[in-house]
Amino acid sequence: MSLSDVSTRLSACIRVGLVIWAIASTTVPVSTIHAQETDIPVSFTADEMDVDRALGIITARGNVEVRHEGRTLIADTVSYNQNLDVVTASGNVILNEPNGDVLFTDYMELDSDLKNGVVSNIRIILSDGSRVAANSAERLNEDMRMSKAVYSPCNLCENDPEKPPLWQVKAITVFHDSSRRVVEYSDAWLEVAGVPVFYTPFLTHPDPTVKRESGFLPPTVGNSTSLGAMLKTPYYWNISEHADTTITPAMYSDQGPGLETEYRQRLRNGEFEIENSIVNDDDVGTRAHIDAFARFNIDETWRWGADVDRTTDDTYQRRYGFGNERTLTSNLYAEGFRKQNYIRSEAILFQGLRQQDDNDETPIVTPLIEFDHVGQPNIFGGQTTLNASTAFLSRKEGADSYRLSLSPGWQATYVSDAGEQIRIVTALDADGYMVDDFTPQGSSTEFSGRETRIFPHARLDWRFPFAKQSGSVQQVIEPIASVRVAPNGGNPETIPNQDSQEFEFDETSLFRSSRFTGRDRVEGGTRIDYGTQWGVYGAEGGFTTVFVGQSYRLRQDSTFAEGTGLEDKLSDFVAKMQVSPGSYVNLLYRTRLGKDNLSVRRNEMELSLGGPLLKLNTQYRMFNAQEKSEFGDREDIDVSMTSQLSETWSLFAEGNRDIDEEETRRLKFGAVYEDECFIFTTQVTRSFFHDRDLKPEDAVIFRLSFKTLGDAEFVR
């Protein structure tokens, strides 16, 4: 054989591999194939090879294998007819793709320019396990047409491979238009367990090289006791590579029509998204909502953003399924980060959705500015700190106030050779207020004017852990104590309490400098906080920790209302326990106990028990109401259960009960079937909630998910 013959033969083998790849795989645009790339190194082996000079045919036989650019072609025979300029591969042809796809065929034939060819009896296993098969395929100028094709991601039955898969799509003709990057089906059937269930004469979708394409999305069909029969048909519009929108007309048999829209866009320095809806409600009239956000970087230091969350009325979003929030918060802000400095300026607008909320009395906060600085450690190990803030609150009805605060401080942490940790924190809070139309508590006279406050305070924290190793178990006991010194009082009646009305005394706030969450109230007087934390830790990762603590102040402070646990000199006990011996048990328990008789004032428990076969999750909450709080007593429990019965079947159930009101609020249970190609979920829900036009409601939901195709959801 001459060198020219060998070169021609290798070129043909390369072309064979590339063309089979082009015909078999729709995951890569065929326009990327170049028949002229014969100078790329090729690895070739075969048992024998001969040349028929009279007929002009070069043939390789027996375990023919061609490797090229991570792609491997295997066949019994590969030949090239120089006179007809035709390349053929036959006999157990296998092509392994770099992306994991594997093609099987008996015979293929093509011309040398790679623009026209035929393949018979194609079978493809895609990288995700899906399967494609066709009687034949034809490639015409980079387009591909497959005849009598079948697609399914389902595995075949091991005991009966001839049995039809759970579902598959059959089509008389499948055409891949590479120029338009679409795949078109003619006379397509969806079969479930071998039974045709859906037919369409024509179906088209983008090929896998297209990430997004305009078109209709699967509809939602349902029924509700309050809205009646429902139909939502979303349309997705791919505006550009960086922007898209989804428009969803909604029809309700017992209410007027509605429209939902979602717009998303990414820009070079940020992104934004807008969701909104509008409905012509027969009972109320026009109802609508908007939920939007924006985030933009200005430079390496600054960024700005906005959140808009508003609705026309209190119950609209819950009734039409757009959320369960009781307060909507909108804001516009800018913030900067540089070294140890942070600053944020924002405007905040609230909308209360509870029946007792009066939005005319809800404050509009603009501006709210916060600045924080932490200095570099000095030679003594300490750091300077600075917090500055300003807030202006205005109302349509009620008091307006403007606050300017400045709080310089110093802090340092020291660790002794024995392991003791000592932390020192000092600060001076300076606040100035301008108040208009404020009525102090217990007074009938409005106050308008200025008020100032200077409040120094210092805190010394101490903790000393002791550890003991006993085999594979380590025990740690750590006593903790803190002394805080501050002037008595500090809360003039002419300073309105805007940001410190509600707080919870627990183990997380025991050692704070101030138990209040905001700046309008300060915690005066000297107090001592103390507690002990004990933990045992296993070598396999299991652990148990317990903490108990209490606070004592030198004088009683009327700042704290009855029921807070801090109204007397000696506070209630706060405790926390967490038990996690392994992956099958996890218990978190938090409580507050009365100092006199250890009566339970507050209980929280989270329990996770069991494994995949049966797992139980419980959340229990019990709070006693505090004096002058807008929240009353609360006691409720959430319970959920999941069970993985087999590889494919699982069960779930959950519910919520208000123990204090002796009412069940919500129940839900269902079953899920899931395998490699299909998900079926059935779910029954019952809501017992009453709130104006919101009434108790039942729903039965069936959800079908054909993996790689889409979902269908039915609500009754």
Once rounded to an integer, what is the mean pLDDT over residues 171-191?
Answer: 85
* Close Cβ partners of 3 (under 8 Å, ≥ 6 residues apart): none
Confidence check: pLDDT of 183 > 80: no
Look at residue 8 in the predicted model and tell me its pLDDT.
Answer: 40
Look at residue 244 in the predicted model and tell me its pLDDT.
Answer: 94
Neighbours of 353 (CB within 10 A): 20
Q: How far is residue 153's CA from residue 710's CA, in Å, rounded to a whole number?
A: 13
Lowest mean pLDDT among 473-482, 491-500, 608-617: 491-500
Provide the 3-class DSSP secondary structure of residue 18.
helix
* 218-252 tens-digit pLDDT: 677 777 777 888 888 889 899 998 999 999 999 99
* 54-79 tens-digit pLDDT: 888 888 889 888 787 777 878 999 88
pLDDT band for position 164 (50/70/90)? confident
Look at residue 10 in the predicted model and tell me its pLDDT.
Answer: 39
Convert 525-549 to b/e letters by CB count within 10 Å (16 or more is b): bbbebbbebbbbbeeeeebbbbbbb
Q: How far is residue 182's CA from residue 298's CA, in Å, rounded to a whole number?
A: 40
Provide the 3-class DSSP secondary structure of residue 328.
strand
Strand duo 220-224 + 710-715: pairing: parallel
> From residue 111, how far is each of 35, 139, 255, 638, 710 by CA, in Å?
11, 11, 64, 69, 39
Q: What is the average pLDDT score of the chain?
A: 85
Look at residue 690 in the predicted model and tell me its pLDDT.
Answer: 79
Look at residue 678 in the predicted model and tell me its pLDDT.
Answer: 81
Rg (CA), the chain: 36
Q: How far is residue 260's CA from residue 247's CA, in Å, rounded to a whole number?
A: 6
* 644-672 tens-digit pLDDT: 999 889 999 999 999 988 888 889 999 99
Q: Are 61 and 44 in contact (CB under 8 A)?
A: no
Once rounded to an integer, what is the mean pLDDT over residues 135-154?
Answer: 84
Look at residue 142 in the predicted model and tell me its pLDDT.
Answer: 65
Once rounded to an integer, what is the mean pLDDT over residues 87-94?
Answer: 87
Retrieve residue 245's tokens. 């929108």
Confidence check: pLDDT of 277 > 80: yes
Label residue 196 exposed, middle or buried (CB < 10 Å: 0-12, 13-18, 19+). Answer: exposed
Confidence check: pLDDT of 14 > 90: no
Q: How far is residue 450's CA from residue 432's CA, in Å, rounded to a whole number?
A: 7
Once rounded to an integer, what is the mean pLDDT over residues 8-37?
Answer: 37
Q: Please measure the distance between the N-terminal and C-terminal CA atoms of the chain and give it in whole angstroms.
A: 75
Q: How far is residue 213's CA from residue 232's CA, in Å, rounded to a whole number?
A: 20
Confidence check: pLDDT of 715 > 50: no
- Residue 643, phi then psi, degrees to nearest 5: -145, 120
Q: How far is residue 701's CA from residue 705's CA, in Å, rounded to a whole number?
A: 13
Look at residue 289 in the predicted model and tell me its pLDDT.
Answer: 97
Look at residue 16 in the predicted model and tell me its pLDDT.
Answer: 42
- Residue 296, phi then psi, degrees to nearest 5: -140, 135
* 380-411 tens-digit pLDDT: 889 999 999 999 999 998 899 999 999 999 99
Lowest mean pLDDT among 111-120, 177-186, 298-307, 349-358: 111-120
pLDDT band for position 4 (50/70/90)? very low
Q: How far is residue 624's CA from residue 541's CA, in Å, rounded to a whole number?
A: 36
Candidates 95, 88, 49, 87; CA nearest to 71 is 95
How far does CA 474 lie from the centroid of its chain?
37
Place of tokens 């913030």: 335
Look at residue 549 in the predicted model and tell me its pLDDT.
Answer: 97
Candidates 21, 6, 178; CA nearest to 80 is 6
Label residue 621 exposed, middle or buried (CB < 10 Å: 0-12, 13-18, 19+). Answer: middle
Once rounded to an integer, what is the mean pLDDT over residues 310-330?
Answer: 91
DSSP string of 621-677, one letter each residue: EEEPPPTT-S---EEEEEEEEEEE-SSSEEEEEEEEEETTTTEEEEEEEEEEEE-SS
Retrieve residue 297's tokens. 């970087």
Q: Are 12 and 84 in contact (CB under 8 A)?
A: no
Q: How far is residue 297's CA from residue 304's CA, in Å, rounded to a whole number?
A: 6
Q: How far is residue 35's CA from residue 244's CA, in Å, rounded to a whole number?
A: 38
Among 312-326, 457-471, 558-572, the range with the most confident prediction by mean pLDDT is: 457-471
Kindly state the percentage of the chain with pLDDT values over 90.
Answer: 48
Look at residue 313 in the predicted model and tell me its pLDDT.
Answer: 93
Look at residue 151 in the predicted model and tell me its pLDDT.
Answer: 83
Confidence check: pLDDT of 597 > 60: yes
Retrieve residue 603's tokens. 């209980």
Q: Are 142 and 159 in contact (CB under 8 A)?
A: no
Q: How far is residue 685's CA from residue 682's CA, in Å, rounded to a whole number?
A: 10
Strand partners, 368: 346, 391
Candidates 550, 466, 464; CA nearest to 507 is 550
Q: Are 665 and 672 in contact (CB under 8 A)?
A: no
How far does CA 604 lie from the centroid of its chain?
26
Look at residue 166 in the predicted model and tell me its pLDDT.
Answer: 86
Q: Is the peptide bond before 161 cis (omega within 30 degrees of 0)?
A: no
Q: How far is residue 429's CA from residue 557's CA, in Å, rounded to a whole number?
A: 19
Confidence check: pLDDT of 337 > 60: yes
Look at residue 193 in the predicted model and tell me its pLDDT.
Answer: 85
Confidence check: pLDDT of 675 > 60: yes
Neighbours of 414 (CB within 10 A): 12
Look at residue 563 in the predicted model and tell me its pLDDT.
Answer: 86
Confidence check: pLDDT of 634 > 80: yes
DSSP string of 298-326, one letter each residue: -SSSEEEEEEEEEESSSSHHHHTTS---S
